[in-house]
Chain A
Amino acid sequence: MSGYWAGILSILAINIIFAYGIFIPVASGQLNLGGAGFQAVGAYSAGWLSASFGLPVSVTIAFGVIVTGVIGVLIAFPILRTKGVYLVLATFAFAEVIAGAILSSEPLGGAMGISVPGYIDWYVSVIFAGLVTVFVFYLMATRFGLTIRAIHDDEDVSDLMGVSVRNVKVAAFGIGAALTGLSGGLYAHSFSYIEIQGFNALVSIYVLLYVLLGGTQTAWGPLVGATFFTLLPEALRSVLPATKNFLVTLFGETGIVAPPDESWRFVILGALTVLMMVFRPEGLVTRTMVERLQFWRPANRGVTQ
């Protein structure tokens, strides 16, 4: 396995876990625009523990998951009392507060970041991604998953049906936070160095967008979204030079500064988001699509017997 592709698979695995962390609260109707903040908590908890005490990776990552999960649950109680726009702003504000706090914290490296000992290979992240994927599929197939999706559609009627709406929302938020923390811990140990500037608003925005793009009705959505977003630069790498050559021959010397590839990736993500919201706001993979493709057979087994 070449180092290049190992790196990509590693990132893909981390992005998938990150996506699932955002997916769970969004599936219950709570848009989380603070993903980067939770990821930072996971990364820094694991990274700090590893750098300060040299504990094994399994311990530090577990620590990261627990810390993030606990913080997620604690902050969920006040935050989930807000609705709509206020909720989105509150999650965004929360991530910024976390980033700001870490930035001005000496023990956490401040603006310089932390060097993280304890390296993990690409396949560790991939294994975790596999486990998380199975876990989320399982979760969404349980009654808990059913109540999550019910709350998304109609909180008031869910309450009348006997669902503890607030508890389910907090649990969804907390589980999502824990998964996001896991992605942070894996990131810290895969790249050996973390700095808070990397866990910024842009990260929160794009993870939310590619989760929404993939589809929030089923557990397939985040897989599709994360894979698309991670592999997009690769696709661009082959297409972009050709397009640029074409444009240059068309317009002559354009005077346009050569773009970092990153920017095109976001232009495309942004443009697709706008188009999606116009034509298909539920995202690419919908419940109906899955039901009809009958991938998720177990749901239909009972009927055909």
Chain B
Amino acid sequence: MLLLQQFVNSIMLGSVYVTVAVAFTLTIGILNFLNFTIPTLFMIAGMMGWALSYYGLPLGLSGPLPWPIALMGAVVLTIIASLIVERFTFRYLKTKYGDSTEHAIPLVSSLGFLLVLENLVRIGYGTDSRRFEGPDADLTMNIGGIFVRVPQLVSLAVTVVIVLGLTMMIKHSRIGRGLRAIAENPDAANILGVDTRRIVPVVFILTGLLCGLAGALFAINYGEVSPAMGEDIGTKAIAGMVIGGLGSIWGAVLGGLIVGLIEMMTVHFFGADTVQVMVWGALLLTLLAYPSGLLGHNTIGKGKL
């Protein structure tokens, strides 16, 4: 019974990683771009949610906002931030020579953005964690002997809806077809009539939305946000993406859940200190031994397609 409880806990934990992992995998799969700002966007969502509910709008336009409004505002801000990132990392990409480091230009830009955004938040709000006054996070349900916290259940439900929604959109909508065309062959996509200038930002909007939702759900679940909250989640999400296979949404789901499981098991058997080594070690081994991961494709991320 205890094991089952542990298992359920790790699924709950994993579903937080899944959403962020999906954001990573979507961007890599479609744009061949490892977007390091994703964990930062997640953090911005959390911090902005807190700031809006604590301070209200800037320049004294309102008092502290109620938490649902604050979170929605945070998601919107995150999407805007993501579009700003798009403007400066991806919009200007010109591969002139096709050499190995040119494909890393957006990656490097995203590292630059990571530094800018994270440190601006630190400058604005300091480095302390903040309490987020959301709904009652301790509401627990008892399902056949297993205890599940309601906010976690909500997160899981939201994650499932997101993943299913995304998969359907990519398979059946016109935008989805455009995204798939760009993923296959960016140059051909242009010639075939896909308006890349309009479709590429969609990826960034989705990224912002996913990170925003993940950050909001995190704030609700744990009641605490800090400028450092992106780092830990980022690690686990990247690991989830790689283990599940780059470019595969279901891979990100599977990978995120597996990482949650690894974390639970490690804490149970070895203590919390070794989680870092375990997760990154698993990631490293996957990269070296089986880089396509469980469900991924061979051609993504290799630098030269």
Report whether A86 and B277 are in contact in the complex, using a CB–CB cutoff of 8 Å. no
Question: Bound state CA distance, A208 and B114, in angstroms?
Answer: 14
Q: Can you list 19 A-B contacts (CB < 8 A)?
A: A29-B100, A31-B107, A31-B108, A84-B304, A85-B107, A88-B34, A93-B280, A97-B280, A101-B277, A154-B99, A208-B111, A216-B101, A259-B122, A263-B120, A264-B119, A270-B114, A271-B112, A274-B113, A277-B106
The segment from A12-20, A75-83, A180-188 found at the interface with B is: A75-83
Measured between C-beta atoms, what is the minimum distance from A82 to chain B in Å?
6
* Chain A nearest Cβ from B155, distance in angstroms: 26
> Given the complex, which residues of A lie within 8 Å of B72, measured CB to CB?
none
For the complex, give the distance between the alpha carbons of A132 and B212 in Å: 46
Instruction: Say whether, besides A89-B283, A94-B284, A209-B115, A31 and B104 are in contact (CB < 8 Å).
Output: yes
Give Cα A43 to B241, complex, Å.
Answer: 32
Is B192 among interface residues, defined by CB-CB distance under 8 A?
no
Given the known interface contacts A84-B302, A85-B28, A256-B123, the answer about A205 and B103 at a Cβ–Cβ threshold of 8 Å is no
Q: When chains A and B are docked, how far (Å) is the Cα of A293 from the Cα of B136?
A: 67
- Chain B residue numbers with a CB within 8 Å of A103 are 273, 276-277
Asked if B102 contacts A281 (CB within 8 A), the reply is yes
Contact (Cβ within 8 A) B291 A209: no
Most B C-beta atoms less than 10 A away, residue of A94, A201, A270, A271: A270
Contact A89 B115 (CB under 8 A): no
Residues of B104-147 at the interface with A, using a CB-CB cut-off of 8 Å, are 104-109, 111-120, 122-126
If the complex has contacts A205-B111, A278-B88, are A86 and B119 also in contact, measured as CB distance less than 8 A?
A: no
Selected contact of A277 from candidates B34, B108, B118, B119, CB within 8 Å: B108
A232 within 8 A of B: no
Do the beta carbons of B280 and A100 come within 8 Å of each other?
yes
> What CA separation (Å) do A208 and B235 show in the bound complex?
19
B108-A212 in contact (CB<8A)? yes
Q: Is A153 touching B97 in the complex (CB atoms < 8 A)? A: yes
A-side contacts of B302, CB under 8 Å: 83-86
- Is residue A155 within 8 Å, beta carbon to beta carbon, of the partner chain? yes
B105 interface neighbour in A104, A152, A270, A281, Cβ under 8 Å: A281
Q: Which residues of A contact B284 (CB under 8 A)?
A: 90, 93-94, 97
Complex formed: what's the CA distance from A24 to B103 in Å? 19
Find the B residue at minimum CB distance from A84.
Answer: B303
Is B3 interfacial (CB 8 A cutoff)?
A: no
Q: Are A209's CB and B119's CB within 8 A?
A: no
Residue B63 at the A interface, CB < 8 A? no
Q: Confirm or deny: A46 has a beta carbon within 8 angstroms of a beta carbon on chain B.
A: no
A270-B104 contact in complex given A104-B273, A152-B99, C-beta closer than 8 Å: no
Contact of A270 among B100, B112, B276, B281 (CB under 8 A): B112
Chain B residues closer than 8 Å to A152, beta-carbon distance: 99-101
Within 8 A of B (CB), among A96-153: 96-97, 99-101, 103-104, 152-153
The residues of A that contact B106 with a CB separation of less than 8 Å are: 277
Given contacts A89-B238, A93-B280, A96-B235, contact A209 B301 (CB under 8 A): no
Give chain B residues whose Cβ lies under 8 Å from the Cβ of A155: 100
Per-position 1/0 for B248-286, Cβ under 8 A of A: 000000000000000000000000011011001101100
Quick one: closest A residue to B111, CB to CB? A205
Please give, as numbers and ranges, the residues of chain A lying within 8 Å of B162 by CB-CB distance.
none
A133 to B284, CA, bound (A): 32
Q: Which of A94, A271, A277 has the most CB of B within 10 A?
A: A277
The residue on B at minimum CB distance from A212 is B108
Q: How far does the alpha carbon of A271 sit from the alpha carbon of B284 in the complex, in Å?
A: 30
* Chain A contacts for B99, CB-based, 8 A: 29, 152-154
